[in-house]
A and B are shown apart, each in its own frame.
Chain A
């Protein structure tokens, strides 16, 4: 017996993601999914970001890792609310893991939830978690051809952060290659050069976050809608 179905295999994830997004939007919390390769500086960036924002705009972080709670420990010094999600065998976070993580947080009173995804530039790209925006990092030591190598991930970015920019001189880093590649892949997202060491670009990134939260409160940010 042959039957026609036509349904998304990712349906469970999609419906959990839209529930997450509705819940976050209703409570006025902007949720940003932060993605990159391992070691690009997601945790350091979030430490800096939270230190800058937390007093006026309370932040929480959901941290996805295959193993350990080390990133969560680093972030706990910067904010009260950190939830560790160990994915075990999983190479990406899923919307239902995020749903469970959000239940651990008291969303009322929060302005931002950051999701630090598992360090991986392939698998997390296809999984909507219910975020309002995606921030994709690439760091100068990774080389300047990452954008062309992982076009799908960079295509989905709403903001792209070129991190560890303080090392660009010693690495003789060619940022033009990144810009050139982005011309073909994503000119929608702003590119911000940042350094968690010297604070270069942190203010511009923080302003981007605050603007996007205002837009969300005005009903203008509607990812995947």
Chain B
């Protein structure tokens, strides 16, 4: 359900880009979604449709890929990938660890639609 608040933040950022680049709208959006962010892709796509309705981001395609959780052991400083269910260090066998990557949702790139007539000039 938190996909809606994430989608609303995304749309705000897209509208800022539209304004900065003085374009008509957004055609495509590429996101990298951390495995620990609990974002369900289907729910996110629906939330994005909802949040972008009647804005310059409406109709943009949303491409999402998941990025793995990367942990660091606070005892031996080993960095390792986690499946999101087990956070124990493979060396120390203890879960005295912290998340290095995998909580964030990154906007990687956007395809902007130029205003009609601008491209030909």
Contacts and interface: CB of A to CB of B under 8 A. Distances in A.
B2 A7 contact: no
Nearest to A149: B85
Given A91-B1, A126-B103, A7 B13 contact: yes
B15 interface: no
25 contacts: A1-B111, A2-B109, A3-B21, A3-B110, A3-B112, A5-B13, A6-B107, A6-B109, A7-B107, A8-B104, A9-B10, A9-B13, A9-B107, A10-B9, A13-B9, A90-B5, A122-B38, A126-B37, A126-B38, A151-B86, A182-B95, A183-B88, A184-B85, A185-B86, A188-B74
A91 to B, nearest CB: 4
A155 B110 contact: no
Interface of B: 1-2, 4-6, 9-10, 12-13, 17, 21, 23, 31, 36-38, 74, 84-88, 94-99, 103-112, 114
Nearest to A188: B96
Contacts of A182: 95
Nearest to B6: A9
Interface of A: 1-13, 89-92, 94, 122-123, 125-127, 148, 151-152, 155-156, 182-188
A5 B110 CA distance: 7
Contacts of A188: 74, 95-98
Contacts of B86: 151, 184-185
Given A5-B17, A188-B96, A92 B105 contact: no
Contact of A123 (B2, B85, B96, B109): B2
A98 B6 CA distance: 17
A92 B112 CA distance: 32
Given A2-B111, A123-B2, A155-B99, A12 B38 contact: no
Contacts of B10: 9
A151 B98 CA distance: 13
A130 to B, nearest CB: 16
A148 B85 CA distance: 7
Contact of A151 (B9, B85, B103, B111): B85
B95 A187 contact: yes
A6 B108 contact: yes
A122 B97 CA distance: 20
Contact of B108 (A1, A4, A123): A4
A5 B108 contact: yes
| A-B complex: 9 closest residue pairs judged by Cβ atoms | A123-B2, A9-B105, A91-B1, A187-B95, A184-B86, A1-B112, A188-B96, A187-B94, A9-B10
A122 B106 CA distance: 20
A74 B32 CA distance: 42
Given A2-B111, A11-B13, A125-B38, 10 more contacts: A3-B21, A8-B104, A9-B6, A10-B6, A91-B2, A155-B36, A183-B94, A186-B95, A188-B74, A188-B98
B109 A5 contact: yes
